[in-house]
Structures are given as C-alpha cells and as structure tokens.
Amino acid sequence: MREVRRRRFLIAAGALLVAPLAADAQQAARPRIGYLMSNSPVIGRQVLDAFRQSMAELGWNDGQNITIELRWGNGQVEQLPVLVRELLTLNVDLIVAGSSAATQATKAATTTVPIVMLASADAVGEGLVASLAHPGGNITGMTFLAGTEIAGKQLELLRQIAPAAARVAVLMNPSNASHAAFAAELKRAAPKLGAQLQIVRAGAPNQLADAFAAMAKERAAALLALTDAMYYGQREQITDLARRGALPAMYSQKEFVDAGGLASYGPSLADMSRRAAKHVDKILRGARPRDLPVEQPTKFELVLNLKTAKELGLAIPKSVVARADDLLQ
C-alpha cells in the first residue's frame, strides 16, 4: 500500500511539472499574426473589427488559437519600417498590411514572411505583385483595382453631380506610389468630360490646410481626393475643409461621406478586410501566397450625402440620385 501511494505521488508530481511545459508548447505553437496599419486604433477600429469577426467565423480566435500583434502608424508613414522590424523580431508567421504604404514597408523588410494586403491602391501598378492572377513572391491579398480607370469614373460622376464645377482640384499624396498613374489617367479623361484639373499635393496632415488654400487661390470649383491611407485617417479634416471651401467633393470610401463629405465611389474597406481574412486562413492552413490570386472588389458603391449637398446649395440630378447605392439624408 505504501508503494502504491508513493507511485501515485510521483505521477501527480510529474503531471504538475509537465503541465506548464505543455502550456508553454501550446502557446509557442499558436500562430502569431502581425497586423500593421498606417493609421490610429480609433480610425482603424471598424476595419480591425471586420477582420477579427471574419477570422472568428473561419475558426481563428485571437487569444485562443492565434495571437494578433497590433501595430499602428498613427498617420506617420516613416514609422512603418520600425513597426515592421518589431513584428519580425516577434517571429510572426504572417503580416497583414493595411495600406499600400504598410505593404511597401513590409515588402522591403522581408521576402520570406507571408504578407496579406488588406487594402492596396494598385497592387500591380505599385510593383507589389507581378500580376493579380500570379502574384509571385510572398505577397497576396486585396487591391482596390488593377488599373487607374476608377479615377476617370470618379471624375465622370463628380462632373454629373456638380456640372457647373468645371475646374476640379485633384488632391494627391506625393509619397503614394500609385497617385502619379491616377493623375495621368485623370489628365487623359478630363478633356472628354469638360474638366480643367488643378493638381494639389499634400503628403502630411499639416499640409492639408495649405493645399486647400492653394485650391481657393486657383479658384477650384470642385475636389477629387485620391484614395490614400493618410487621407482616410484625416477624413474629418479633409471633408470639413472641403465644406468650408464650398467645394463639391468626390472620395473613394463611404467613411468620407459619413464624416460629412458629399460623395464617394469605391469599395468598402470593411468588406475588403473580411475578404483578406480568407487569404490569411488559407495561408495558416498551408497555402503559399504566390499561389493565391490577388482579389479586387466585386462591387463599387456610389454614396451621396444629401444634407451636405443642401448645405452647398447643390441640386444633384435625379438621375444620379437614382443610381446611388446609399443616401445619407
């Protein structure tokens, strides 16, 4: 009997020693995902929530069977390389990049860790992937478009919304690798649409006020803001400056209209985030980024803010209102 009790004691003691080791092994085996955003947690919360929800629906729950390491650039693009190095030091298994700038910074830092683009402006045009169907390398995910045609469509809609506003200021970020191509497309489209363009550059939040002052000096009558992570983060400031300048404005994301902007034409960032999660799921289950085609939005939405239109004294044509996917009263 004494020997039986001794054996039981030794087994129990051994179990107590093994349990922490097993827990540590389980923790070590949990996939670690880096999540890199150019903007702040407040601005990026909706997109992050959509990503987490989609990951949970696919069977991946943060803190249970995956760990998500969050890093936020807070609008400072120059900090992105530093944040990427932090994530790589943590030996992340994959990095989700929330913008073109975040993807560029991550691509420059690693050719082996898989990168999933949550949203890039033009993945092929910016040199992030070889092609949408065969991205090659370690990058896949979502891109707004395969070319620059969306900019021409946005200008066309803006001219229909505000036909009297022929002089259009184009707000572009000189540090955004896709904007030169967008501007070139707009210059090609402008003569057919009866528009005269004014290219205005702003690469940081503290340059926006001067950019709008330049628009006023050159008598711009409308605004087209190109899609950009920094502009998205500063959407309240940009839409406020546009309203104060009495500029009918076209944006790429609905969130600008939610912030008081007049109109937007483009895809949903939250939807792109949910779809990017599916790429992450496939990679965690063994797929290679090079074998996963880069996806584009399948639906582009026109959103109008009728309250802002009234404030601007603008009567949007009924034909355009009828085409809108969403109207803010």
Task: Point out which residues pair with 34 in neighbouring strands.
Answer: 69, 95
For the chain, the structural domain boundaries read 31-144+269-291, 149-266+300-328
Q: Which of 28-37, 90-99, 311-320 has the lowest mean pLDDT?
A: 28-37
DSSP 252: S
pLDDT in tens, 206-242: 999 999 999 999 999 999 999 888 898 899 999 999 9
The helix-helix angle for 179-193 and 149-161 (nearest 10°) equals 40
| Residue of higher predicted confidence among 190 and 22 | 190
- The domain defined by 31-144+269-291 carries CATH number 1.10.287.130: no
* Banded model confidence at residue 39, pLDDT cuts 50, 70, 90: confident
Q: At 35, which helix (H) or strand (E)?
A: strand 32-37
Per-residue confidence band for 189, with pLDDT thresholds at 50, 70 and 90: very high
Residue 19 is encoded by which pair of tokens? 């349990």
Mean of per-residue pLDDT scores for the chain: 89
Per-residue pLDDT reduced to its tens digit, 17-36:
444 444 444 445 799 999 99
Report the pLDDT value the prediction gives residue 25, as an integer from 0 to 100: 44
Q: Which is higher by pLDDT, 289 or 27?
A: 289
For domain 149-266+300-328, give the fold. Rossmann fold (3.40.50)
- H/E stretch holding 156: helix 149-161
